[in-house]
Structure 1
Amino acid sequence: MNANSSNSLLVVPTGALKISEHPLTDFHRDNPILLSLVIPTYKERNNIENIVNILSRLLDEAIPGNYELIIVDDDSPDLTWELAQSLLPDYPQLRVMRRQEEWGLSSAVIRGWQVATGRILGVIDGDLQHPPEVLIQLLQKIEEGADLALASRHVDGGGVSSWTIIRRFLSRGAQVLGLIILPGVLGRVTDPMSGYFMVRRSAIAGATMNPVGYKILLEVIGRGQVREIAEAGYIFRERTEGESKVTWKQYVEYIQHLIRLRVSTGRLGKISQKVNFPVGRFIRFGVVGFSGVFVDMAVLYLLSDPSTLALPLTRSKIISGEVAIFNNFLWNDAWTFADVSMQQKGWNQTIKRFLKFNVICLAGLVLNVVVLNIVFNLLIPNRYIANLIAIAVATIWNFWVNLKLSWRVTDVK
C-alpha cells in the first residue's frame, strides 16, 4: 500500500482522476483483495468510529480479510482524519487519507479508488445514512455478474425515512431534469442520485473522470464501460450526528454536471476525441465569452456613444475589453477550467492564472482592436457589428492560447 511510514496516512494521488486497470498490492499480500470501500468524510468525527466498527464487523463475517476500508477526509476542522488514524491499530483493514489541496466528495471517492487494492470498488457515506447491511446484497449482485450494483430508494424495499415535501420534490425534480438532459445515463437506473454503490474496477479502468459536486455515480455510468446494472432497495436514514452537506449549491452543481456529461459523451464529445480538440470546453469558453460580450458592449456604449461620454472608439474599446477580461476570467476559472483550477488552490496560483489570462487576452484585445477598426473603417460602418466580428476572432485566439498556457493540465502537489 502506498502509505507514508512517518504518519501511516496514505499519500494523496495527483494528476488525472483515472483508475488503473490493475489493482495495487500492498506489502501484506501478493494478490489484490476483493473489495475496496471508500468512505469520504468531512466533519464526521462523531460518526467515524461507529461506522468503522459496524462495517468491520459486517465484512469480517462476510469476506474476512478480503476487504479494505479507505477513509478519505478533506482536512476536516474537527480532525476527523486524526481520529480515524487513531483507529488503525484496532482495525487492520483500515486505511486513512487526508486531503489538504483538493476538496469535494466525488474527487475524494476517485482518489480513494486510485490507491485501492480491490477488484471491486465501492462507496458509502460516512454519516450512517446508508444502512451498512445492504453492502452484502450489493456484493452478491456483483459476484452474480453485474458490473455495477447500487442501492436505490426507488425499488422494492427502498424509501426515505422522514424527508420534507420540499426535499422530496427537489429530489424527484432533479431526476426528471436528468432524464431530459441525459436520458442515456439516468434512464439506466432508478436512483441516479444514489451515492451508495459498487462497481467492477474493470468497468471504469482507464476512463478519465471529471466530476462536479456530489454525484459520482453519473460519472461512473456516463464514462465507464458499464454493461449490466443491478439494484437493491434501501431506506435512506436521517442523521443522528453531524450536519447535512446538502445545500442549493449541490443542485446547481448537479445541473452543471449533467450538461458537462451531455456535451462530453454525446456527438460533440465523439467529434472532440476524433479531432483531438476539446469541443465541450470550447463551448463553455464560448458561453463565458458570450457573457463578456454583454459586459463589453455595455461599457463600450457608456464610454463611446455620442449620447453618453463620447470618448474615442479605440480608447473606449480598450477599457471595455479589460472589464470583460476580468469578468471572463472569473467564470472560466470557476467553470470552464474548474477541473484544473481545483488542483491549483490558493491565491498565488489564482493570481498567476489571471496574469497569464490577462496578458493573452490583452494580445487578443490588440487583435480585437485591429479587426474592429479594419471592419468598421473598410467593410461595415457599424461599430457594434464590427465589434461582434472582432470579438469572434479574438475568442478563438484566447481559447487556444489559454488552453495551452493559463490552465495547463499538469500534475501538481
Structure 2
Amino acid sequence: MALGQQSFLLPVPTGSLLIPETAPAATSDRDFQTNRGQKSYSVRFSLIIPTYNEGKNIRAIVSILTNLLDPVLPEDYELIVVDDDSPDRTWEIAQRLMVEYPQLRVMRRTTEKGLSTAVVRGWQAANGEILGVIDGDLQHPPQVLLKLLAAMNDGADLAVASRHIEGGGVSSWSAVRRFLSRGAQLLGLVILPQVVGRVSDPMSGYFMVQRQAIAGAALSPVGYKILIEVLGRGDIKEIAEVGYVFQERREGESKVTWKQYVDYIKHLIGLRVSRGRIGRIRQKINFPIGRFIRFGAVGFSGVFVDMAVLYLLHDQSGLGWGLTRSKAIAAEAAIINNFFWNDAWTFSDMSRQQRGWRKRIKRLLKFNIVCLMGLVLNILLLNVLYNTLHVHYQVANLLAIAIVTFWNFWINLKLSWRVTESDN
C-alpha cells in the first residue's frame, strides 16, 4: 500500500482525560481502512511511546519492540507514538515507518504538551485491554516488557518496572540525581503514603495497567509522572513489580529538569487534596473547586487594578477626571485584566483549544457581557437584601459579591470558554 494511503495521523482526543471502557469506535473512512476493515476492534496490548525530539531513536525502538512483541502477540498489539510536535519532526519520521510496521500508529499533538497527558491521550485512542507506556529514548530496556506482560497475564491490575527491587538499578547516575530521586520518593511517602507506598518505584515511567482498572477515572496528571496518578485514581488491587536497570541515552539529550521535581510536588499535593475530605465533597457535587479558586484569585487582582486606575484618573494629583467616567474606565480595565489572567491561567486548558486572536476577542466580548450582567445582578441583590430583608448593608454587599462571583465563574465557564466542535 502506498505511503499516502496508509500513513495518516491519529486524531488527538480532546476534553476530559477519561479512559473509555472499550476500544473507541472508528469515526472516519481512514479509521475504517486502518482498523482491519472493521468499524472498531480490540487488541490485547496497546503500548504508548511519548516522544519529543526522539527522531534519532524512534526507528530503533519501533524495530526492537516489534521484534519482541510479534512472536508473543501476533497481530494482537499496537504501538502508538504520541509526539508533542517535535522540532526534529519525530512524528513525521514515525509516520514513514507505518508502511514497514503495520502495528504502528502515530499521533501529533500541537496544542497540549507534557509527557503525562501525552500518555493519557494515547490511552484514549488505544484499542488494548492492557495499556502500557515506555520511554522513546531506549532508557527503558524493551526486553522487560515480556516480564511485565507475563505479570499482567497472571492477573495483575498493574505491573511496574522498578529500579529499586532485586534486578533493578541505574547505570551511571550522579550522586545528586540519585539523591533527588530518593528524596522525591521520601517526600511522596510523607505527603501521600497510601498511594506512593504501594510500589517501590513510584516515579517509574515504565508500566502496564488493565484498561478496566482506570476506565472512567477522572485523571488529572501534572508534569511527567503518570504512575502516581494511576495508583491514586485507579481501581488497582493486584500489583506486580519487575526489576530493571535504567539505561543511559543512546541519542539525544536528557529532559530531566528542576521543573519536573516541582511538578511532582504539585501532583502529590493535588492528589492529597482530591483524596481528602475536600476532594470527596468535590466529587459529590461535581464542582471544579480548583478552577473556582483560581477565578477568585484573579478577581481579587482585579480589585487592585480597579482601585489603581480609579485613583490615577479621578484623584486631583492625577488627571482629575469626573468620578463616573473614571469609574467606568477603571471597571473596564479590571475586566480586561481579569480576562487575560483567566484566559492564561484559570481556563488555559480550554483557551488552548480555541487559538487565534479572533477567538480570543470573541471570548473577551463574552466575558465583558457576563461581567456587566453580574454588576446589574450585584446591585439588584444588594437592594433586595438591604431594603427588603433588612440585612446590614456591609453584610448584604459581601453576600451579593459572593453570589455574583459564583455567577460570573459559572456563566463564563459554560459560555465564554465553552469549547465547541467549531472551535477545534
Pair in the same fold by TM > 0.5? yes
Structure 1: distance between partners of 2:76 and 2:169: 31
1:356 partner SS: helix
Superposed CA deviations along residues 131-150 of structure 1, whole A, max 9, x for unmatched, are: 11221221122122211112
Structure 2: distance between partners of 1:136 and 1:282: 45
Name the residue aligned to 1:187. 197
Where in structure 2 are the equivalents of 1:189-338 lying within 5 Å? 189-293=199-303, 295=305, 318-338=328-348
Name the residue aligned to 1:47. 57
How much has 1:84 moved relative to structure 2?
1.1
Name the residue aligned to 1:108. 118
Work out whether residues 321 and 365 of structure 1, in 8 Å CA contact, stay in contact via their aligned partners in 2: no
Q: Which moved more, 1:81-90 or 1:180-189?
A: 180-189
Superposed CA deviations along residues 186-208 of structure 1, whole A, max 9, x for unmatched, are: 33333332221111011111223
Structure 1 pair 16/125, CA: closer, same or farther in 2 (3 Å)? same
Superposed CA deviations along residues 163-198 of structure 1, whole A, max 9, x for unmatched, are: 344434443444344444444433333333222111
Work out whether residues 20 and 124 of structure 2, in 8 Å CA contact, stay in contact via their aligned partners in 1: yes
Question: What amino acid does structure 2 have at the position aligned with 1:214?
Answer: Y
Name the residue aligned to 2:18. 18
Work out whether residues 6 and 98 of structure 2, in 8 Å CA contact, stay in contact via their aligned partners in 1: no
Where in structure 2 are the equivalents of 1:69-148 lying within 5 Å? 69-148=79-158
Structure 1: distance between partners of 2:328 and 2:259: 35
Structure 2: distance between partners of 1:390 and 1:24: 46
Question: What amino acid does structure 1 have at the position aligned with 2:64?
Answer: I
Structure 2: distance between partners of 1:166 and 1:381: 59
Structure 1: distance between partners of 2:46 and 2:325: 61
Structure 1 pair 58/28, CA: closer, same or farther in 2 (3 Å)? farther
Question: What amino acid does structure 2 have at the position aligned with 1:105?
Answer: L
Structure 1 residue 66 corresponds to structure 2 residue 80: no
How much has 1:370 moved relative to structure 2?
8.2
Question: What amino acid does structure 1 have at the position aligned with 2:61?
Answer: I
Segments of 5+ residues of structure 2 without an aligned counterpart are 26-34
Normalised to the residue count of structure 1, the TM-score between the two structures is 0.82
Structure 1: distance between partners of 2:204 and 2:76: 25
Work out whether residues 6 and 99 of structure 2, in 8 Å CA contact, stay in contact via their aligned partners in 1: no
Work out whether residues 7 and 99 of structure 2, in 8 Å CA contact, stay in contact via their aligned partners in 1: no
Structure 1 residue 400 corresponds to structure 2 residue 410: yes
Structure 2: distance between partners of 1:149 and 1:243: 28
How much has 1:46 moved relative to structure 2?
0.5
1:34 partner SS: strand
- Superposed CA RMSD: 3.7
Structure 1 pair 260/321, CA: closer, same or farther in 2 (3 Å)? farther
How much has 1:45 moved relative to structure 2?
0.6
Question: What amino acid does structure 2 have at the position aligned with 1:63?
Answer: L
Structure 2: distance between partners of 1:318 and 1:239: 59
Structure 1: distance between partners of 2:379 and 2:392: 15
Structure 1 pair 102/349, CA: closer, same or farther in 2 (3 Å)? farther
Structure 1 pair 344/31, CA: closer, same or farther in 2 (3 Å)? closer
Question: What amino acid does structure 1 have at the position aligned with 2:282?
Answer: S
Structure 1: distance between partners of 2:197 and 2:304: 38
How much has 1:314 moved relative to structure 2?
6.0
Work out whether residues 7 and 96 of structure 2, in 8 Å CA contact, stay in contact via their aligned partners in 1: no
Structure 1 pair 21/242, CA: closer, same or farther in 2 (3 Å)? same
Superposed CA deviations along residues 234-261 of structure 1, whole A, max 9, x for unmatched, are: 2222323123333344344334433443
Work out whether residues 209 and 219 of structure 1, in 8 Å CA contact, stay in contact via their aligned partners in 2: yes
Identity of aligned residues (%): 66
Structure 1 pair 375/11, CA: closer, same or farther in 2 (3 Å)? closer
Question: What amino acid does structure 1 have at the position aligned with 2:158?
Answer: L
Work out whether residues 124 and 196 of structure 1, in 8 Å CA contact, stay in contact via their aligned partners in 2: yes
Name the residue aligned to 2:32. none
Structure 2: distance between partners of 1:354 and 1:255: 34
Structure 2: distance between partners of 1:62 and 1:121: 16
Structure 1 residue 27 corresponds to structure 2 residue 36: yes
Q: Which moved more, 1:50-59 or 1:316-325?
A: 316-325
Segments of 5+ residues of structure 1 without an aligned counterpart are none
Question: What amino acid does structure 1 have at the position aligned with 2:83?
Answer: D
Superposed CA deviations along residues 292-335 of structure 1, whole A, max 9, x for unmatched, are: 45555666666778998887776665555444444443443344
Structure 2: distance between partners of 1:161 and 1:189: 21
Work out whether residues 56 and 251 of structure 2, in 8 Å CA contact, stay in contact via their aligned partners in 1: yes
Work out whether residues 210 and 339 of structure 1, in 8 Å CA contact, stay in contact via their aligned partners in 2: no
Work out whether residues 263 and 280 of structure 1, in 8 Å CA contact, stay in contact via their aligned partners in 2: no
Structure 1 pair 40/301, CA: closer, same or farther in 2 (3 Å)? same
Structure 1 pair 263/410, CA: closer, same or farther in 2 (3 Å)? farther
The total of aligned residue pairs comes to: 408
Structure 2: distance between partners of 1:201 and 1:275: 26
1:241 partner SS: coil
